[in-house]
């Protein structure tokens, strides 16, 4: 055997396998393989995935049109038009488009009409118009596809027709879209009978909303909201959650939001990232009651994560009034500028007979708590903490490494059932050296 002989084994693979491999890379790179050899020249035209991302075309001179101006929007438009013309459109199963439009959206409409074929399985659209007057209606057949399973829409104006029928859609993600109010949200969800995962992300709160998620199939629901734009404005939202098969629940919103949650018997993970606004400090009692009502609806969760503001709200209450968390095995608390979280952790442990792991997350200043512990070290840890918790995780440590070994020593000595203490920090090398000098 001549070991110096180079054999191109990849080119010898069947077309179906090569097309499957090319389907995992952006179309820009799939087209570029046409220059490898005659074997690859037209192979990309049979790839069942079209993945166009304008960000990848900066400084890219198209293989299809070598005379084009690299990085220009015209180059990108010509590239997509040419690919759509030469590709076997009837075979398209996934279409992805990320594009910032500085001109008329007419080409986008044409691409979508062509791409949404009878075989389309996944559709991801992420684009917005720099010209505010520009508006585009998505093709009606997008909302009446019998084959579509995944639909992801981002940063775009969305007009929902009066009739939506997506009988096989399982994943729906709506991020920072424009024009989707409560009415059209319900029309959209009503047409997705087998939806299993729903993601809603908003940029700004313009008015109060009622978000009704009532479906027996849904397994995962995530709602997030960016707080920077209107931190001084509080438009409370009302969430109505009636999803008996829900397993994953994540919400990032205002602490004044109201939740009406039917008992979620199959819930596994609950992430509650509710934040204060500057306007509602006088309504802590009402917010506390709403949070307690929410707890009752998610009491079957196995993992529960609470934001720093929620911990602060609960710590300020005279009566925590926590339900029994029979299935809870992991609890994550965002802790900050005071040490009242100890009382809250103890109360949670009392209500959670199966709790094994306690995570203390320092997103807003655990080091100050450690400083306080150092000045006034506790005689012992709470009784319930001694008997139950097997693992404690300290996250997001940034400075004051000298206090960490002392705190760790208290935990290791006082929590008899503790099997693992994990410390995560920004500078693990410094922490490792500090602990090494003390143990």
More confident residue, 398 or 139: 139
Backbone dihedral region for residue 62 (phi beyond 0: left; psi -120 to 50: alpha; all else: beta): beta
Lowest mean pLDDT among 88-92, 170-174, 224-228, 361-365: 361-365
More confident residue, 283 or 186: 186
Q: How many CB atoms lie within 10 A of CB 228?
A: 7
* pTM for the full predicted model: 0.79
Q: What is the mean pLDDT of residues 247-272?
A: 91
The per-residue pLDDT of the chain, averaged, comes to 77
pLDDT of 384 strictly over 50: no
The predicted structure's pLDDT at residue 433 = 47
Question: 103 pLDDT band (50/70/90 cuts)?
Answer: confident
The predicted structure's pLDDT at residue 368 = 44
Question: 266 pLDDT band (50/70/90 cuts)?
Answer: very high
Q: What is the mean pLDDT of residues 58-85?
A: 68
pLDDT of 417 strictly over 70: no
The predicted structure's pLDDT at residue 372 = 45
User: How far is residue 19 CA from its own chain's centroid?
Assistant: 30
pLDDT of 102 strictly over 90: no
The predicted structure's pLDDT at residue 130 = 65
More confident residue, 266 or 339: 266
* All residues at 6 or more sequence positions from 343 whose CB lies less than 8 Å from its CB, including other chains: 315
* All residues at 6 or more sequence positions from 42 whose CB lies less than 8 Å from its CB, including other chains: 34
Question: 225 pLDDT band (50/70/90 cuts)?
Answer: confident
pLDDT of 390 strictly over 60: no
Lowest mean pLDDT among 16-20, 282-286, 305-309, 358-362: 282-286
pLDDT of 1 strictly over 80: no
H or E stretch covering 94: strand 94-101
Q: What is the mean pLDDT of residues 153-165?
A: 88
User: How far is residue 407 CA from its own chain's centroid?
Assistant: 33
Q: What is the mean pLDDT of residues 124-134?
A: 72
User: How far is residue 37 CA from its own chain's centroid?
Assistant: 41
Handedness of CA 48, 54, 58, 59 (dihedral sign): positive
């Amino acid at each position: 055997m001549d070991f110096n002989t180079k054999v191109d084994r990849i080119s010898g693979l069947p077309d179906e396998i090569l097309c499957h491999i090319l389907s995992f890379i952006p179309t820009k790179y799939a087209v570029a393989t046409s220059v490898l050899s005659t074997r690859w020249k037209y192979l990309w035209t049979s790839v069942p995935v079209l993945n166009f991302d304008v960000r990848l075309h900066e400084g890219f001179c198209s293989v299809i049109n070598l005379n084009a101006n690299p990085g220009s929007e015209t180059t990108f438009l010509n590239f997509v038009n040419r690919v759509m013309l030469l590709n076997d459109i009837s075979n398209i199963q996934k279409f992805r488009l990320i594009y910032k439009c500085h001109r008329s959206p007419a080409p986008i409409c044409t691409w979508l009409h062509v791409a949404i074929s009878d075989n389309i399985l996944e559709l991801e659209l992420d684009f917005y118009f720099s010209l505010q007057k520009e508006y585009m209606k998505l093709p009606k057949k997008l909302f009446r596809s019998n084959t579509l399973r995944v639909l992801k829409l981002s940063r775009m104006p969305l007009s929902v027709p009066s009739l939506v029928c997506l009988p096989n859609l399982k994943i729906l993600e709506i991020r920072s879209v424009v024009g989707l109010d409560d009415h059209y949200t319900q029309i959209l969800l009503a047409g997705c009978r087998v939806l299993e995962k729903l993601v809603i992300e908003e940029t700004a709160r313009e008015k109060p909303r009622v978000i009704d998620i009532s479906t027996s199939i849904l397994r995962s629901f995530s709602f997030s909201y960016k707080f920077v734009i209107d931190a001084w404005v509080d438009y409370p939202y009302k969430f109505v959650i009636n999803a008996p098969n829900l397993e994953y629940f994540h919400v990032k919103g205002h602490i004044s939001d109201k939740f009406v949650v039917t008992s979620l018997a199959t819930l596994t993970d609950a992430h509650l990232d509710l934040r204060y606004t500057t306007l509602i400090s006088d309504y802590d009692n009402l917010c506390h009651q709403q949070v307690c009502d929410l707890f009752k609806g998610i009491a079957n969760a196995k993992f529960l994560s609470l934001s720093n503001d929620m911990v602060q709200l609960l710590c300020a209450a005279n009566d925590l009034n926590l339900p029994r968390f029979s299935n809870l095995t992991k609890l994550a608390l965002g802790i900050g500028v005071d040490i009242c979280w100890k009382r809250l952790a103890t109360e949670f442990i009392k209500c959670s007979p199966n709790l094994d792991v306690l995570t203390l997350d320092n997103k807003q200043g655990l080091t100050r708590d450690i400083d306080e512990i150092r000045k006034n070290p506790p005689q012992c840890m709470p009784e319930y903490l001694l008997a139950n918790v097997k693992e404690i995780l300290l996250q997001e440590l940034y400075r004051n490494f000298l206090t960490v070994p002392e705190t760790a020593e208290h935990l290791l000595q006082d929590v008899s059932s503790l099997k693992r203490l994990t410390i995560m920090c920004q500078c693990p090398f410094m922490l490792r050296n500090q602990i090494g000098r003390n143990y």
